[in-house]
Amino acid sequence: MSYLSIKAVHIIFVICWFAGLFYLGRMFIYFKEAENRVDNEKKILQKQFLLMSERVMNIIIWPSVFLASTFGLLMLYYNPGLLGALWMKIKLIVVLFLLVYVFVCQHILNLMKKGILNISENKLRFFSEGATLFLIAIVSIASLKTEVSWIYFTAIFIIISVLLSLLIKLYQKYLLKKN
């Protein structure tokens, strides 16, 4: 298998990984929102959201984590010079934090299974945006490499984070109150 083929497969599984994280974050929020329903509705909805969350985690996210990591490591094996690049070191650190994020997702899922999800809707909304921030960081680092100053990139990243926070607050203030 050529290096470019390995890179293509790596990117495909990274996309699957993030697709799963985006979907899972919504399932966490929907599960929590179902607590406000009457008992019968709550049981039905939470059971369905739990089932969907388990499937996303076990069928999409964990296999994608394993395969994206495997093909990423293969890329480093075939091109070890990448490890000497500052951008790659920073990207790998961000990926380690992304792995921690996935383990936290698994922890939240385990709490859901036990029926003791004691995290507020608001915190779950902010948490679910973490995947977006990881995606922006990893893609930007891998794409821009040394083309842009790290200070400029950091400023953009902070601005995007603040904008996401404001959009969540606006959503809660206006759209959720209408319902």
CA 102 vs CA 97, 106, 165, 167: distances in Å: 9, 6, 21, 24
Percent share of the chain, pLDDT over 90: 68
Kindly report the number of other CB atoms within 10 A of residue 92's CB atom: 15
Is the pLDDT score of 170 beyond 90? Answer: no
Q: What is the mean pLDDT of residues 15-19?
A: 98
* pLDDT at residue 166, rounded to an integer: 83
- How much is the mean pLDDT over the chain? 91
Q: What is the mean pLDDT of residues 135-161?
A: 78
Q: Is 0.85 surpassed by the pTM of this model?
A: yes
Helix axes 121-144, 150-170, angle to 10 degrees: 150
* pLDDT at residue 99, rounded to an integer: 98
* pLDDT at residue 7, rounded to an integer: 96
CA distance 43 to 34: 8
CA 161 vs CA 132, 149, 167, 172: distances in Å: 9, 19, 10, 17
CA distance 176 to 171: 7
Contacts of 157 (CB under 8 A, 6+ apart): 133, 136, 137, 140
Best CA proximity match to 67, nearest among 16, 106, 118, 29:
16
173 vs 53: which has the higher pLDDT: 53
End-to-end CA distance of the chain: 53
pLDDT band at 178 (very low <50, low <70, confident <90, very high): low
CA distance 148 to 163: 21
Is the pLDDT score of 155 beyond 70? Answer: yes
pLDDT in tens, 65-88: 999 999 999 999 999 999 999 889
Best CA proximity match to 130, nearest among 109, 153, 101:
101
> Vertex 149, ends 144 and 150: CA angle to 5°?
85
* pLDDT at residue 72, rounded to an integer: 97
Question: What's the maximum distance between 2 C-alpha atoms anywhere in the chain?
Answer: 59
pLDDT band at 144 (very low <50, low <70, confident <90, very high): confident
Residue 115 backbone class (left: φ over 0; alpha: ψ -120 to 50; beta: rest): left
* pLDDT at residue 171, rounded to an integer: 75
